[in-house]
Amino acid sequence: MNTKISAYAHPEVLVDADWLLEHLNDPNVRVVESNEDLLLYDMGHIPGAVHIDWRRDLNDQTVRDYVGPEGFAALCERNGIGPETTVVFYGDKSNWWACYAFWVFQLFGHDKAKVLDGGRDKWEEEGRPLTREVVAYPAVTYPVPAGRNDAAHRAYFQQALEHMQAGKKMVDVRSPKEFSGETTHMPEYPQEGVLRGGHIPGAKSCPWARAANADKTFKTREELEAIYAGELGLNVEDDIVAYCRIGERSSHTWFVLKYLLGYKQVRNYDGSWTEWGNMVRSPIEKSL
Per CB under 8 A, the list member of 25, 55, 127, 158 interacting with another protein is 55
Helix (H, G, I), strand (E, B) or coil at 261: coil
Q: Nearest approach, Cβ of 121 to another protein (angstroms)?
A: 9
Q: Nearest approach, Cβ of 38 to another protein (angstroms)?
A: 5
Near another protein by CB under 8 A, which window of 26-34, 104-112, 137-145, 189-197?
A: 189-197
Binding mask 8-47 for another protein (x = CB under 8 A): ----------------------------xxxxx-xx----
Site membership for another protein, residue 190 (CB under 8 A) = yes
Tell me whether residue 121 or residue 172 sits nearer to another protein (CB atom): 121
What whole-number distance in Å separates Cα of residue 226 and Cα of residue 118?
21
Query: Which residues, 6+ apart, have CB-to-CB distance to 236 below 8 Å?
Result: 261, 262, 263, 264
Nearest to 104 by CA among 11, 34, 160: 34
Q: Which residues pair with 100 in a beta bridge?
A: none
Near another protein by CB under 8 A, which window of 19-27, 167-175, 187-195, 202-210?
A: 187-195
Amino acid letter, residue 211:
A
Tell me whether residue 39 or residue 288 sits nearer to another protein (CB atom): 39
Q: Nearest approach, Cβ of 185 to another protein (angstroms)?
A: 9
Residue 206 is among the residues annotated as catalytic for this protein: no
| Signed CA dihedral, 71, 73, 74, 75: sign only | positive
- Residues 2, 117: contact at Cβ < 8 Å? no
- Residues 191, 184: contact at Cβ < 8 Å? yes
Question: Contact residues for another protein (CB under 8 A)?
Answer: 36-40, 42-43, 55-56, 187-190, 192-193
Residues marked active site are found at 244
